[in-house]
């Protein structure tokens, strides 16, 4: 089965019978459950878009000759890289960049690891072949994926093997002739209940030692695998209409704790088994982190464009566009947008072929962007909140406008410079949902921790940065300064 439609995506979820729990109950059909149905509709739209714009969203499979999703594409030229990025941004525009784990994110990972698979062969050639075959399987069947990277927060002062309950985190229980058995919990699977399968991989930030070998695993299984359970957090889609909650009613992805209750994983679905060294190098040595970050930066450009658009509409609506501090705040967002675009341009146009023949973006540019955006996005949200001021609290619901007694009063009392009250509140509810609602708060939190703890990421960035040329530059300058150093040897 090649690229799928939205209807086919939904039907798979209905048929799968995934073990998803929310609000203390098991979900029988996520496509009709209030916590999931609306975001499932939004995801279905992404898949339908592949067929509405096939020239941009699909390409011919190199193995089957079928039309498959462009976000699985292995780029071999800079033009290919740009073509894939345009498909990524086409999807991102449907949500204003609010779907942080749209399918293209993990499609990029599967592609990179499937092509650059020889790292996995260090343990056994079978693992490399598994990665290669899974990429083809995912591409040819348009598999939607969630993933999980980190262990539960128990006692961060101790390694996993030192915990009082060392088996609480996902770990290897035993190897069998036809596969492995794993048990324990993992965090945090976004879209866990609304995808086909789950990728389990190590953290991109926190490195492991040999004592962590039992926890050093990489594999993939269907979401309806026996013993696999998703325990979803409270939904931020409260079942309200789109006018009242224009973002959370459509793009609330959901996040879940994943519990593997003695889950069996066939050998053909395993990529790493009990090898912390391979896990530590997986994302870097396969260039998966580069291609995943390329998707994220492309998505965040769209997100910044959306935030800027909301800010510009808001300041125009209430006539504050001529105030100096307002223009300065708008400029902050504009500078953020243009800086992100510059990072992306450099990454794409300085791209080079890796040893597997994949055109790989310049990671220096992408790495700077992925370290910077989590630090700046909270400021973008703050700017919108500051400019909206009390207007973000004076936001009656659509039902108030339809009330015969007060509707006309609300419409008149909340009018703006160039908008009737109804249109003004509609805009301000969007700004509120982006900043102050549970959904908006989660968006800010999500961006801040997107690739992990920004402080640890910053430390890693500092350590790997080539600092010597700049130190040498200053040393040479100081050496050129005319000086006469006193002789202190006799003092």
Is 390 annotated in a binding site? The answer is no
- Other CB atoms within a 10 A radius of the CB of residue 382 amount to 14
Is 314 annotated in a binding site? The answer is no
Is 105 annotated in a binding site? The answer is yes
- The answer to whether the bond into 372 is cis (omega within 30° of 0) is no
Go through 49-62 and write b for each residue having 16 or more CB atoms within 10 A of its CB, e for each that does not.
bbeeeeeebbbebe
Q: Taking the mean position of all CA atoms in its chain, how far away is CA 89?
A: 13
List the beta bridge partners of residue 231: 21, 257
Is 60 annotated in a binding site? The answer is no
Backbone angles phi, psi at 393, to 5 degrees: -105, -30
Under a CB-based contact definition with an 8 Å cutoff, are residues 39 and 69 in contact? no
Q: Taking the mean position of all CA atoms in its chain, how far away is CA 34?
A: 23
Structure tokens at 263: 């889950």
d(CA 238, CA 427): 19
Is 326 annotated in a binding site? The answer is no
Is 381 annotated in a binding site? The answer is no
Is 79 annotated in a binding site? The answer is no
Structure tokens at 36: 């999931």
Is 64 annotated in a binding site? The answer is no
Structure tokens at 53: 């714009």
Backbone angles phi, psi at 452, to 5 degrees: 125, -175
Backbone region of residue 395 per phi and psi (left: phi > 0; alpha: psi in -120 to 50; beta: other values):
beta
Is 186 annotated in a binding site? The answer is no
Who's near 181: CB < 8 A, 6+ residues apart? 172, 173, 174, 262, 263, 264, 265
DSSP string spanning 106-165? HHHHHHHHHHS-GGGGGT-HHHHHHHHHHHHHHHHHT--EEEE-B---S-TTS-GGGSTT
Is 484 annotated in a binding site? The answer is no
Q: Taking the mean position of all CA atoms in its chain, how far away is CA 155?
A: 26
d(CA 453, CA 134): 30
d(CA 72, CA 90): 15
Structure tokens at 199: 């990728």
Is 103 annotated in a binding site? The answer is yes
d(CA 318, CA 38): 32
User: Strand 197-200 to strand 217-222: parallel, antiparallel, or no bridges (unpaired)?
Assistant: antiparallel
d(CA 456, CA 150): 14
Go through 302-318 and write b for each residue having 16 or more CB atoms within 10 A of its CB, e for each that does not.
bbbbbbbebbeebbebb
User: Strand 270-273 to strand 20-22: parallel, antiparallel, or no bridges (unpaired)?
Assistant: unpaired
Structure tokens at 100: 């942080």
Which residues sit in the known binding site for substrate?
A: 101-105, 147, 203-204
Which residues sit in the known binding site?
A: 101-105, 147-149, 153-156, 190, 203-204
Which residues sit in the known binding site for FAD?
A: 147-149, 153-156, 190
């Amino acid at each position: 089965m090649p690229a799928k439609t939205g209807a086919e995506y939904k039907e798979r979820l209905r048929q799968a019978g995934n073990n998803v729990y929310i609000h203390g109950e098991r979900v029988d059909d996520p496509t009709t459950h209030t916590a999931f149905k609306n975001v499932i509709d939004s995801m279905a739209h992404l898949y339908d878009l592949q067929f509405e714009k096939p020239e941009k969203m699909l390409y011919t499979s190199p193995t089957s000759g079928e039309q498959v999703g462009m976000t699985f594409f292995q780029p071999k030229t800079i033009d290919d890289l740009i073509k894939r990025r345009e498909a990524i941004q086409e999807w991102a525009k449907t949500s204003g960049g609010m779907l942080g784990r749209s399918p293209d994110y993990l499609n990029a990972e599967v592609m990179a690891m499937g092509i650059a698979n020889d790292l996995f062969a260090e343990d056994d050639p079978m693992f490399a072949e598994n990665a290669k075959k899974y990429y083809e399987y995912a591409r040819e069947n348009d598999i939607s994926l969630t993933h999980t990277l980190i262990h539960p927060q128990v006692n961060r002062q101790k390694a996993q093997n030192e915990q009082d309950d060392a088996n609480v985190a996902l770990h290897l229980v035993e190897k069998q002739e036809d596969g492995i058995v794993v048990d324990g919990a993992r965090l945090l699977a976004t879209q866990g209940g609304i995808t086909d399968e789950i990728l389990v991989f190590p953290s991109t930030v926190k490195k492991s030692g040999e004592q962590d070998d039992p926890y050093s695993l990489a594999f993939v299984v269907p979401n309806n695998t026996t013993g696999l359970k998703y325990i979803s957090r409270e939904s931020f889609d409260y079942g309200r209409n789109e006018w009242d909650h224009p973002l959370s009613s459509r793009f609330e992805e959901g996040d879940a704790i994943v519990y593997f209750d003695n889950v069996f994983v066939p050998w053909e679905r395993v990529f790493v088994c009990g090898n912390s060294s391979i896990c530590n190098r997986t994302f870097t040595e396969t260039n998966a982190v580069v291609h995943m970050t390329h998707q994220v930066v492309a998505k965040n450009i769209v997100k910044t464009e959306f935030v800027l658009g909301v800010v510009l509409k808001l300041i125009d609506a209430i006539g504050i566009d001529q105030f100096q501090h307002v223009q300065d705040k708008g400029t902050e967002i504009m500078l953020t947008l243009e800086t992100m675009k510059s990072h992306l341009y450099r990454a794409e146009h300085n791209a080079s072929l890796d040893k597997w023949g994949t055109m790989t973006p310049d990671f220096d540019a992408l790495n700077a962007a992925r370290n910077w955006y989590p630090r700046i996005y909270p400021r973008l949200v703050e700017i919108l909140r500051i400019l909206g001021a009390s207007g973000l609290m004076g936001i009656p619901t659509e039902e108030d406008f339809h009330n015969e007694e007060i509707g006309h009063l609300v419409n008149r009392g909340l009018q703006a410079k160039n908008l009737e009250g109804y249109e003004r509140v509609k805009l301000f509810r969007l700004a509120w949902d982006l900043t102050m609602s549970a959904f908006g708060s989660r968006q800010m939190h999500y961006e801040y921790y997107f690739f992990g703890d920004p402080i640890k990421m910053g430390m890693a960035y500092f350590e790997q940065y080539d600092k010597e040329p700049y130190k040498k530059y200053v040393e040479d300058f100081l050496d050129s300064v005319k000086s006469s150093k006193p002789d202190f040897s006799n003092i």
